[in-house]
Structure 1
Amino acid sequence: MTIKTPPKRVFDPMLPRMGQYRSIPETEDKAFSVWLQGQFDEIYSSSETPPLCPHCQSGQTVLATRAAHPKPVLPVFRCIACDVHFRRTTGTPLWALKFQNLTQFIGLLSQQRPVTEAAAILGVKPVTVSRWIRRTREWIMDLDPTGHWDSKVRLGMEIRPDIPCPNCGATDHMHYRGFTSDTGDRLCRCDACGQFARLSNVLRDQGPDFVLEHRVVNRPPSTRRKTSTAVE
């Protein structure tokens, strides 16, 4: 039995981590957005055609309540077999989740942007965007267990380059830290020795067949107020 390698998430090292000093360009994956919008349109549909029961998978379902303003926003169905009421979102990670500016959120999901910037664009709190991302990714994996579509999600992910430090040789300690003022080259800093290096020089030392990959990290909450003004 052949085990397929999960799709890799692709990141652009030249995109700034924060857009405070250098604007972050639009990098939306249009194909992903179209696919996901279609999935949302289906699950949030006002269609009165009863789906299968999410509890017992029975097809003996009927419309119980039509969608109306202000409530219910979505039609409610009833399963005759197990005598329960449900919506299309019942039993999914989207249950009881309320989105604002959904289409705009979908367009941001595949972009390499921080949660704070997405929150400002959407007009909600960063913790809300984080919750939307987490629950939407869970739902995407339910829809596509291969991970193909989930690998397109990049919003809110902080990355580290998988390269050794050219100064001390430490691995898993390099991170992006701004750009050079003369050429705009990407700068990396090693947490082990504190030295900086140009990404182009590091990649050149790896050889022509080297492929730069990244790992996603979860940064712990800062214990002090940040004072650095470097462009990351």
Structure 2
Amino acid sequence: MTGRYGAEMTKAALPKRTFDPMLPRTGHYRPIPETEDKAFSVWLQGRFDEILSLSEAPPRCPHCQGGETVLKARASPPRPVIPVFTCQTCEIHFRRTTGTPLSGLKFRKLSLFICLLSQQRPVTEAAEAIGVKAVTVKRWIERTREWILQLDPTGHWDAKVRLGMEIRPDIPCPNCGETDHMHYRGFASDDGGRLFRCNACGQFARLSNVLREQEPGFVLEHRVIARPPSSRRKS
């Protein structure tokens, strides 16, 4: 990784995102329990309350950072949803979201979206709950994460986001030894244990058996797979 962002990451590793392998990828075959990170939701709701505030007190201009700003238009849904201001120096209209990754986004059921953002759930289920398309939720996640990293460059709060992330265990296949080919594939019918399958050899394995064979202190890591939203994938 190159550039300023890559250089910053080398100074201190960003916090790791944690996942629970026992949670199903979808709720088609078994319900997905609530796993909201309450502290994260409270923090993010507070930041949204600030940037989407109906307060008519003019903020500084996002273009010149000047303080010669005045109210242009009060919030009057459906338009404008939030107040519009004018910079008397730049003679440019702006909102509190201007110049941020949230600019131009139209959230629906924002509190529900915030509640879902830290949960290990697929985008398709979040979209159904909110009442929008999956691609819309995906865009919200991407832009919100950009904004979160601007607010907190340490990555502490961004590491709480899990919505829409498909995971795979970062462990070699116990049958053929191939790496980067294991993926979760349902649960055992007898005891409900987690199963995964190797795409290289096609064999199934129980997560509990594989973990039992590891050295003391072993911690199962996961990698996130970037794929378009789909409602057909098995749990």
Q: Quickly name the TM-score band, shorter chain normalised.
A: over 0.9
Question: What is the aligned length?
Answer: 227
Instruction: Tell me if the contact between 2:123 and 2:229 (Cα under 8 Å) persists in the aligned partners.
Output: no
- CA drift at 1:204: 1.2
Q: 1:206 pairs with 196, 200, 214, which one?
A: 214
Deviations 1:185-210 (A, max 9, x none): 10010011000000011111112210
Residue 212 to residue 176, structure 1, CA distance change in 2 (3 Å): same
Alignment of 1:59-138 (within 5 A): 59-138=67-146
Alignment deviations for residues 36-88 of structure 1 (CA, whole Å, 9 cap, x no partner): 00011000001011111100111121112211233221111111221111000
Question: How many Å separate the matches in 2 of 1:106 and 1:70?
Answer: 22
Could you say which residue in structure 2 is the equivalent of 1:13? 21
Q: CA deviation at 1:220?
A: 6.1
| Distance verdict in 2 for CA 1:76–1:145, change over 3 Å | same
RMSD: 1.8
Following the alignment from structure 1 to structure 2, what is the Cα–Cα distance between the partners of residues 34 and 130?
21
**Among the aligned pairs, what percent are the same residue?**
74
Instruction: Judge which range, 199-208 or 157-166, deviates more.
Output: 199-208
C-alpha distance 133-220 of structure 1, shift in aligned 2 (>3 A): closer
Q: Which runs of 5+ in 2 are unaligned?
A: 1-7
Amino acid at match of 2:110: L
Bigger shift: 74-83 or 196-205? 74-83
Partner of 2:152: 144
Report the CA distance shift for 1:69/1:165 in structure 2 as closer, same or farther (over 3 A): closer
CA distances 1:145-199 after superposition (whole Å, capped 9, x unpaired): 1111111000000000011100000011100000001111100100110000000
In structure 1, distance between residues paired with 2:79 and 2:106: 13
Change (3 A) 1:138 1:116: same
TM-score (norm: length of structure 2)? 0.92
Deviations 1:2-36 (A, max 9, x none): 82110000000000001101000000000000000
Conservation of the 8 A alpha-carbon contact between 2:124 and 2:229: no
Name the counterpart of 1:183: 191
Consecutive unaligned residues of structure 1, counting only runs of 5 or more, are none
| Partners of 1:74 and 1:167 in 2: CA distance | 58
Give the corresponding residue for 1:215.
Answer: 223
The CA distance in 2 between the partners of 1:64 and 1:120, in whole Å, is: 37
User: Given residue 155 of structure 1, which amino acid in structure 2 is its aligned partner?
Assistant: L
**AA in 2 matched with 1:21:** Y
**Equivalent AA in structure 2 for residue 133 of structure 1:** I
